[in-house]
A and B are shown apart, each in its own frame.
Chain A
Amino acid sequence: MAGMACLDAILKFKPGFEVKVLSEEPYLNYNRILLSAVLAGEKSVEEITINTEEWYRSSGITLCLNTRAAEIDAQKKIVTTADGMPHPYDRLLLATGSVPFIPPIDGVKKEGVFTFRNMADTAAILESCESAKKAVVIGGGLLGLEAARGISNHGVHVTVVHLMDRLMEVQLDAVGGQFLKREIEKLGIDVLLNKSTARVMGEARAEGVMFKDGSIVEADMVVIACGIRPHVELAKTAGLKINRGVVVNDFMETSDPDIFAVGECVEHREKVYGLVAPLYDQGKVLAATITGNKGPVYEGSVLATKLKVMGIELFSAGDFKGEEPDKEIVSYQDHAFGIYKKVVVQNERVIGTILIGDASDANRILEMIRSRALVDEKRQRLLFDTPPAVAGSPSDVMSRADSDTICGCIGVTKGQIVSAVRDNGLKTFSAVKTCTKASTGCGTCAGLVQDILKAVCGGEFEEEKKDVLCPCVPFPKERIRTMIQTQKIRKAQDVLDIYGDGVGCSLCKPALSFIVDEVWLGDHEEDRSARFINDRVHANIQKDGTFSVIPRMRGGVTTPSELRKIADAAEKYNVRMVKVTGSQRIDLLGVKKEDLPKIWADLGMTSGYAYAKAVRMVKSCVGTDFCRYGTQDSIAAGIRLETLLEGLYTPAKVKMGVVGCPRNCAEATVKDIGLVGMEGGWQVVIGGAAGKIVRSADILCAVKTTEEAFEAALLFFQYYRENGEYLERTYDFIPRVGLEKIRRETTLAPEEKKKALLERLSRARAKVVNPWDEHKKPAQPLQFSDFVLPKDADALMGAH
């Protein structure tokens, strides 16, 4: 990563360089910081790849993947690779990074023991997660905790074992360690401190770990994350000066004038860095040196750490302990909210900080440390900057100084972003990322970068298309859901007023209506004017302005008395057509709006929601009651499933089917959710379709009992409700999110996660009422009314 960042800088100085890159790994260079996001299932391998093959080609770089450099002959200036090939050089750049430190523990070579450093490690851990039940992570530092969270996301129970008396002792004081431990435990991860691991138990495979005190933790996988050491083996063959790392001076030169080094493999002023920001600083200096523009010097970096664990904010930088008498500590602790803030001041200057629970001030404080500015009048607002008027409003970031660091990973200031946008006429976030590299590290500053972009280019700003709900509310879809949640917004119009243009359109108004309903489990402020006409009058508008009425007929089962009522109503209201639908129900077509409440009263049935982005129906076959081949009672299961879910709104319509045997007479395998009965159990299938797109459903799981089948179906249903994008059918949702992830988050999720999903579903279901009851009491006086005026002249006013 450091090497490639440096290369990028070299090409800017001197595009004519002939460059060859030797890489031991078989992957294009990727963002190593985000490996934990890949492990957690939050990002794909493609998403963390930094430079494409096309980039190498167009930059004229020869890329040799899977090619390990074995030896350097500094006299002859030749690198020999493991395959025996010589690669001559004029100047050589070492960016060999680091290797995991493996403490002296017996049995680390056993199967099921992993390190967590590169893509191959990550892939191996992910594979192991599929079958493992329990994992032990040895090491409670940054890497260990990120690994623990990643593994626990896959439904594996994780115990973190740490040698020291607190987690992340390199970055935290004792109080911070306690706060962090509580946050980690809240994620369902066990933490054991003061534990020295003696050996990995088991024969060929890991079965657990034993500690020096004789106690044992069982596990079917063990991850060692005890820190890293500079990878110096290659440098040794060149005879370079090496202490802990390859020794470099302020120009990033090694002891050989034609060999340079950068990144985690180097030692500079007796310091070795294992974090990303210094690597970029070094890269810039080195690029100048190596291209003959020697001048800029590297003076060391302020160490800053951000924990990238979803749901935990943690930031630590500089001298965060402040133990010496001439140092002052300003701190704030809120145990209930899990917030700990600490700033260390020396000689009226901020020299270090710890932020847990709320790290929104991280860049501001880091900038105070880096600039060594006097605290003076800021003293009283050290821990809490003046709150921004509206979260995310562009003005609050624009009021910062140009020298303020926005992207802490890469070290990009506000001024650099502003001038990059101005000078190059950038309009999109991805263009800013490519040009400035801001937000290409951990990505937490994405919002700030976008705010700057918006403020500078004004109306020219172009939102990345795929992410945004609608031009009226120009925020990524998942952010809107978070904003609604955190800002406690219960009405669609309020979202438009606060975050949008205040007006909205026919796309975002129904979308926002759905999201507020879904987020607040039906306990929202319903605004009918933001809904499509179908949802205002609970019927489906037809091309001539009349409506179609489809009563609920659970499982496609009806009775003679229901059929009689339907026939009578059809005659009474001159229904133009009575149609049996593809969903095993009956459609009354051509009903006038003003007749809707009357026909509902006569029918006395529940709305079938055939007009809404909501639960439609459950089709079923006759099953064991009548069918010679039936193996499961598909009728009862179908009726029950429909009863459990009816009346709930969804991102897009949800059609379901239950069949009693694999002959699949009710076509469950082309439904959004299907239960397929078989001898001794059910298959639960999801994401099928037989509309514009025909897609065979994916198997979510196979279970023995009908109850288990319902649970799986309900888990997926609620997960889709919460994570599907508005108008996104399950057949698009599943490929986007990935079937494996969906399994991990639903049927394979930890029990408490499943319970929470089902609990939210049942709370939302409890709020459902039959909308056709509005025939008794309309939602408002003119809900179904039209006005009819006499056309004679007497009706004219004021003309006389």
Chain B
Amino acid sequence: MEKGWRVVKDAELIPAKEGRRVKIGENEIALFNLGGDFLAVDNRCPHKEGPLADGIVAGKAVFCPLHNWKISLETGCALSGGTGQVKSYPVKLKDGKIHIHV
């Protein structure tokens, strides 16, 4: 799959402090609205692949809904629960649209 910026149509409608899944082929990304700022990481918790997009957002981190690991949305690193890291993706806002670099 060719890499580049992809627009996520209507992603600006994600409620503040919530996340949503973004599927691109085999990839599944969790895209979060932190209240204007958007961040994206892989949607699989390093612990047991829990869907991070469904987690509770706290600052610039998310708590996995399955076993409560805390994952940084900036670095993808586990902050509590255990050690591990998920991939993070660059996100930008251009012409009122959210773009992810995949």
- Which residues from chain A sit less than 8 Å from chain B, CB to CB? 503-506, 509-510, 528-533, 536, 541, 543, 545, 780-782, 785-791, 793, 795-799
A789 and chain B: residue at smallest CB distance: B24
In the assembled complex, the Cα of A71 lies from the Cα of B13 at a distance in Å of 86
Distance, CA A494 to CA B1, complexed state (A):
44
Q: Which A residue's beta carbon lies closest to that of B9?
A: A787
Q: When the two chains form the complex, which single residue of A536, A545, A789, A799 contacts B22, counting CB atoms closer than 8 Å? A: A789
Whole-angstrom CA separation of A785 from B11 in the bound complex: 11
In the complex with contacts A506-B63, A528-B15, A787-B11, A533-B54 CB distance below 8 A: yes
Distance, CA A791 to CA B14, complexed state (A)? 22
Contacts of B8 in A (CB 8 A): 787, 789
Interface string of B62-84 (1 = CB under 8 A from A): 01011010100000000000000
CA distance A789 to B22 in the complex (A): 7
Closest A residue to B35 by CB, please name it.
A529
Do B58 and A782 have beta carbons less than 8 Å apart?
Answer: no
Q: 22 pairs across A/B with beta carbons < 8 Å?
A: A503-B59, A506-B56, A529-B16, A529-B18, A530-B56, A531-B56, A533-B56, A533-B65, A536-B18, A782-B15, A786-B21, A787-B8, A787-B11, A787-B21, A788-B24, A789-B8, A789-B24, A796-B6, A797-B5, A797-B99, A798-B5, A798-B94
**Chain B proximity of A341: nearest CB distance (Å):** 44
Name the residue of chain A whose CB is nearest to the CB of B68: A506
* B interface residues with partner A (beta carbon < 8 Å): 1-2, 4-11, 13-18, 20-25, 31, 48, 50-51, 54-59, 63, 65-66, 68, 70, 94, 99
Considering the chains assembled together, what is the distance between the CA atoms of A509 and B62 in angstroms? 12
Measured between beta carbons, the chain B residues less than 8 angstroms from A529 are 15-18, 56-57
A543→B23 contact, CB < 8 A? no
A504-B58 contact, Cβ under 8 Å, with A529-B15, A793-B2, A797-B4: yes
Contacting pair A785 B58 (CB below 8 A): no
The 9 tightest CB contacts between A and B, nearest first, are A796-B4, A506-B63, A529-B17, A791-B25, A799-B4, A533-B54, A545-B51, A503-B59, A786-B21
Given A536, A785, A796, which contacts B2 in the complex, CB threshold below 8 Å? A796
List, in ascending order, chain B residues with CB within 8 A of A789's CB: 6, 8, 22-24
Q: A541 contacts which chain B residues (CB < 8 A)?
A: 51, 54, 65-66
Compute how far the CA of A529 lies from the CA of B8 in the bound complex, rounded to whole angstroms: 21
B21 contacts across to A, CB distance below 8 A: 786-787
Additional A-B contacts beyond A787-B31, A789-B8, A799-B2 (8; CB < 8 A): A530-B17, A532-B56, A533-B54, A543-B50, A545-B54, A793-B2, A796-B4, A797-B5
B80 to nearest A CB, angstroms?
Answer: 9
Closest B residue to A781 using CB positions: B13
Across-interface contacts of B4 in A (CB, < 8 A): 793, 796-799
- Is B18 a contact partner of A505 (Cβ separation < 8 A)? no
Nearest-CB residue, chain B, relative to A800: B4
Known: A506-B68, A795-B6. A786 touches B20 (CB 8 A): yes
Residue of A nearest to B50 (CB): A545
Q: Is the CB of B16 within 8 A of A791?
A: no
Return chain B residues, CB-CB under 8 Å to A504: 58
* A506 neighbours in B (Cβ, 8 Å): 55-56, 58, 63, 68, 70
Contacts of B94 in A (CB 8 A): 797-798
CA A531 – CA B57 in complex, angstroms?
10
In the bound complex, CA of A791 to CA of B23 (Å) = 9
Q: Could you say which residues of chain B place their CB within 8 Å of the CB of A780?
A: 13, 15
- Say which residue of B5, B9, B20, B65 sits within 8 Å of A799 (CB atoms): B5
- Cβ contacts under 8 Å, B25 to chain A: 791
Complex Cα–Cα for A503 and B22 (A): 25
**How long is the Cα–Cα vector from A270 to B50 in the complex, in angstroms?**
77
Distance in Å from the Cβ of B83 to the closest Cβ of chain A? 19
Q: Would B15 and A509 count as touching, CB distance under 8 A?
A: no
Q: Which residues of B contact A795 (CB under 8 A)?
A: 6-7
Q: How far is the CA of A791 from the CA of B6 in the complex (A)?
A: 9
A790 to B31, CA, bound (A): 16
A528 to B99, CA, bound (A): 25
Bound: A670/B58 CA distance, A: 37
Q: Which of A503, A510, A797 has its CB near the most chain B CB atoms (within 10 A)?
A: A797
CB pair A787 B48 closer than 8 Å = no
CA distance A129 to B31 in the complex (A): 61
- Decide if B6 touches A543 in the complex (CB within 8 Å): no
Contacts of B31 in A (CB 8 A): 787
* Residue of A528, A532, A787 contacting most chain B CB atoms (<10 Å): A787
| Chain A residues whose CB sits within 8 angstroms of the CB of B24 once the complex forms | 788-791
Decide yes or no: A543 and B68 within 8 Å by CB, A506-B56, A788-B23 being known contacts: no
Judging by beta carbons under 8 Å apart, are B13 and A503 in contact?
no
Given contacts A529-B16, A796-B6, contact A791 B54 (CB under 8 A): no
> In the complex, what residue of chain A is closest to B11 when comparing beta carbons?
A787
A787-B22 in contact given A504-B58, A505-B63, A545-B50 (Cβ < 8 Å): yes
B58 interface neighbour in A505, A532, A786, Cβ under 8 Å: A505
Contact of A791 among B1, B59, B63 (CB under 8 A): B1
Contacts of A788 in B (CB 8 A): 22-24
